[in-house]
Chain A
Amino acid sequence: MPGTRWRDEEIVENLSSMDPDARLRALRAVKNQIIGNKTKKLSYVKLGAVPRIVEILATDSSVPLLVQSAAAVGSFACGTEEGVRAVLQSDVLSHMLKILSHKDDQVVQAVARSLKLIFNSTLAPRANMFEQNALSQLLQLLFSKNITVAEVAASVLARCCETPRQQSAIASAGAIPRLVHLLSLSTPKSQEAALDALASLTHSNSEISLALLDGPVVERICALLKDRNTRLRVLACSCLANMSRASSLPTARQHELAALALPVAVRLVGEGEGGFHEAPRVVAQLVSGNADMQKVACDAEVVPRLAKLLKKEYDLSPRLLETTLLALAALTERHEQSRKQLVQAKVLDKIVQALANNEQGVRISACKCCLSMSRSVKHLRTALVDSNMTQALLNLLTDGSTEVKEAAAATLCNMVLDFSPMKEQLLSSGGLRHLAVLAQAPQYVLRLNSMWALKNLLYLSKSPSKEAVMQSLSYTTMRQLLLNDVEEVQTANICGQRWRWLRVRVREHDKGSCTVQELTSECEGKETRGPQGLHSEFFMYGVQGVMRLNSWLGIYRTKGHSQTMKWQ
């Protein structure tokens, strides 16, 4: 309407006008104003435009109104969290899913596009897509003759793979053959959507990964590693990384795929930062737990590339910061040269800063980085000391998040070793007390990590430290841990893993108590009768445990005890 200029409030009013034309005009006005304009989006959200638009979507039947309202909803959901929240609060998803079966293609496309935008946000509730027949509707779209619609469906599906259950629901609904088909088309958009969905479906899902691994689709994905489109390369790397890590004992084929993907992923790090926080994550996935791959990646100079990203910290999204730290943690996990490169890149202070980041994920991956670095005796003595990370780690022991506490306790395990200059710092700032408290935590990993830290703290320690530990921990707790706790905590517990056997014996004989003396006599009574007159291995095994306990506890000073060991 040339010449007429409505105020925003009037436009919002008109969204609920009885006149369909007025509604359409108002819709168009809103849509055009908010596109790419965060401030406008926010102001319309405040004026209450979103529920009115959703109302149109829910009740109107005219094609232009539906198309425009769907587009406007999508626009609100894009770019601002407030927008997404407003959209989701108005229960738009159920309406959109209903309209997906609309017979007009335009409507379906518009709705599907908006769905895609909504699902780009992490706020979108995935579970809704698995209720009633939403999934089958999406699947129908995936099989739509209209390729654009199919792409959108694939993109939405890609965002709905957060749990193994969701993944298998999508897979068993028959999505994979269609995705493979989409991948074989020559349009980059459909390839991207299909690859996105396949990458999400295979993520941490060995069943789907292994099923795909046998198919011809792998060749297709490998070919895309060389594609000019960066996004396609990232997604292809991601797919291959998932497949190559799908089995605990990788086959030669899986090794081959990982080796193909790694150099591509390394080159993608730092390239087009915007959407590609995936690249560091893929690198992390490909190299973690594999020293050879860590070496290959390190030789490809990936550490300085990641370090460069870290130095731009302020431009980094929390997600990219997190994945970058994860990649560095994976690279330095077992490979000393990578650690050296990381120190040389001078980013340790950035990592220490990240320990205090607001995002939980960032704090955890920063801990993992410190943990990997602390596996080097040399760096424990030098670079890590200079970085002042101990206080930051100690603070994390009382973090609000259990996962952060677990990661911090794990990192401390190596820093409390005898040759680490940080041991003293940790002890003098009350680290022992924190660890002793965590050793009684309800969460098993926390108990394991803190007991491990206590165990390492006692390595080559003198009696005062031993007494201090037992005072903080108390004998009651110690005894409980020995007798009642899950096996792994015992394995890590201060007596060393030999105790496990002792515990089995104790339980078998239904001993109520577990004094060292009792266990010792049990060892002697039951197990010395070895088949060849030698020490039986049972005996050795048990005695080792007792001895470790003795020397470790620093409490067992009964005279003549060592003579009862029948040492040869």
Chain B
Amino acid sequence: MKSESDDRLTDWRNIFDNGKAFSLRSLRDGATSGIKSLYTGSSVTQEPQLYSGLPFNGMSDRLAGLEVPCSFLSVGQAFEGTQNVPQHSNTGCKEEAWKVHVRIQGCDLDQGYICGSMEALNVPSAKSSVVTFWEGEIVDNKNYNFFTSQHWGADRSTDLKHWSKFACFAPMKDAVTKDDMQNVDLVNCPYIFMRWKEKCFVNVGPDCGLTIAGFYYICFSRNDGSVDGFYYDPNSSPFQKLELRASCEGRFGHGFPSYSFR
């Protein structure tokens, strides 16, 4: 028992010392494909995030032998921010915004799957806050790529238009446009691209004044867990912007919610 915990600690020390042990370890563990291995390479360079960001779930997960491309992708992690809806009226252009809380509730990197809840707080058209459950696809070029599958109603040009709104997409835009996935470097990209699609309302009926017909293009910062997103729904205002920051929920990083399935 003791030796095992000692091993783990030694492992960890190596990560701190030279940053190489981690990738070696993932080799040894036989990580083969998918986002895990795609991202493990660079999560070494991302290591300082563990100090800068308050939650260090990622560290604990790694100690448990689980490799995550970003500590902010852990279950239980909360985010808060706003969604801005540009309103075009006769008097000109003004913005409407509401507060948004998001929590990651499930994440399966092997399958490129993520899910969670989203709460919209002061929506003008809704009486109370609106909680929805969403599921997401992580762009890992194994399970999902940058192009949205047919049944979500976005075509290639819509995809490119939305992804291009993220500055960090620029370096890979050419390659993606040409379907040249070999040259799309997700490993060293400090962002993770995802699509989040709301599946159902949790606390209200479908007549709450909001629609969940569309989906979000998401750009997730591995450095600090901040999230930029654009809502896409042909029947809603275009480019509603979602901006979130990782939240400690008043715990000052001294405790963080997490669970593990049995």
Binding site for B on A (CB under 8 A): 291, 336, 371, 374-378, 381-382, 410-411, 413-414, 417-419, 449, 452-453, 455-456, 459-460, 487, 496-498, 500-501, 504, 532, 534, 537-538, 540-541, 544, 547-548, 550-552, 562, 565, 567-568
Contacts and interface: CB of A to CB of B under 8 A. Distances in A.
Interface stretch (B86-94, B107-115, B186-194): B107-115
B106 interface: yes
Given A336-B113, A371-B262, A538 B133 contact: no
20 contacts: A336-B113, A374-B261, A377-B115, A378-B106, A381-B133, A381-B200, A381-B202, A411-B262, A413-B261, A456-B262, A496-B60, A497-B64, A532-B16, A534-B16, A537-B13, A538-B9, A541-B63, A544-B59, A565-B254, A567-B253
A500 B63 CA distance: 12
A551 B260 CA distance: 17
Contact of B9 (A413, A537, A547, A550): A537
Contacts of A568: 51
A552 B255 contact: yes
Contacts of B37: none
Contact of B259 (A336, A449, A459): A459
Given A378-B199, A504-B5, A537 B16 contact: yes
Contacts of A547: 254-255
B214 to A, nearest CB: 19
A541 B13 CA distance: 11
Nearest to A507: B2
A459 B76 contact: yes
Contact of A378 (B115, B253, B261): B115
A410 B262 contact: yes
B257 A562 contact: no
A496 B9 CA distance: 16
B255 A452 contact: no
A375 B261 CA distance: 6
Q: Among the interface residues A378, A500, A548, A568, which one has the most CB atoms of the partner chain B within 10 A?
A: A378
Contacts of A540: 59
Contacts of B2: 504
A176 B117 CA distance: 58
A23 B60 CA distance: 79
Given A378-B199, A568-B51, A460 B59 contact: no
B12 interface: yes
Given A538-B9, A541-B9, A541-B63, A413 B262 contact: yes
A410 B260 CA distance: 12
Contacts of B135: 378
B252 A562 contact: yes
Nearest to A371: B262
In the A-B complex, the 6 residue pairs with the smallest Cβ-Cβ separation, listed nearest first, are A551-B255, A413-B262, A377-B106, A459-B259, A547-B254, A460-B257
Nearest to B11: A537
A247 to B, nearest CB: 14
Given A414-B261, A452-B262, A541-B9, A487 B1 contact: yes
B133 A551 contact: no
A544 B60 contact: yes
Given A497-B64, A538-B9, A541-B9, A459 B110 contact: no
B118 to A, nearest CB: 12
Interface of B: 1-2, 5, 9, 12-13, 16, 51, 56, 59-60, 63-64, 76, 105-106, 108, 110-111, 113, 115, 117, 133, 135, 199-200, 202, 251-262
B6 to A, nearest CB: 9
Contact of A548 (B9, B12, B255, B262): B255
Contacts of A551: 251, 254-256
A449 B255 contact: no
Contacts of B111: 291, 336
A28 to B, nearest CB: 61
A382 B133 CA distance: 11
A499 to B, nearest CB: 11
A189 B1 CA distance: 51
A562 B199 CA distance: 40
A345 B16 CA distance: 50
A291 B16 contact: no
A534 B261 CA distance: 33
A459 B251 CA distance: 14
A268 B13 CA distance: 52
A427 B259 CA distance: 18
A540 B51 CA distance: 11
B115 to A, nearest CB: 5
Given A410-B262, A418-B257, 9 more contacts: A378-B106, A411-B262, A413-B261, A449-B262, A459-B257, A504-B2, A537-B12, A537-B13, A552-B255
A291 B251 contact: no
A498 B5 CA distance: 10
A500 B5 contact: yes
B59 A550 contact: no
A547 B117 CA distance: 26
A512 to B, nearest CB: 20
Contacts of B259: 417-418, 455-456, 459
A541 B50 CA distance: 13
A562 B261 contact: no
Contacts of B51: 568
Given A537-B12, A551-B254, A501 B262 contact: no
Q: Among the interface residues B64, B106, B261, which one has the most CB atoms of the partner chain A within 10 A?
A: B261
A486 B215 CA distance: 47
Nearest to B117: A419
A459 B258 contact: yes
A250 to B, nearest CB: 12
B108 to A, nearest CB: 8
A418 B75 CA distance: 12
Given A336-B111, A377-B105, A550 B255 contact: yes
A375 B202 CA distance: 19
Contacts of A552: 255
A501 B254 CA distance: 18
B133 A378 contact: yes
Contacts of B257: 418, 459-460
A532 B15 CA distance: 13
Contacts of A498: 60
A446 to B, nearest CB: 13
A538 B1 CA distance: 16
B132 to A, nearest CB: 11
A414 B262 contact: yes
A562 to B, nearest CB: 6
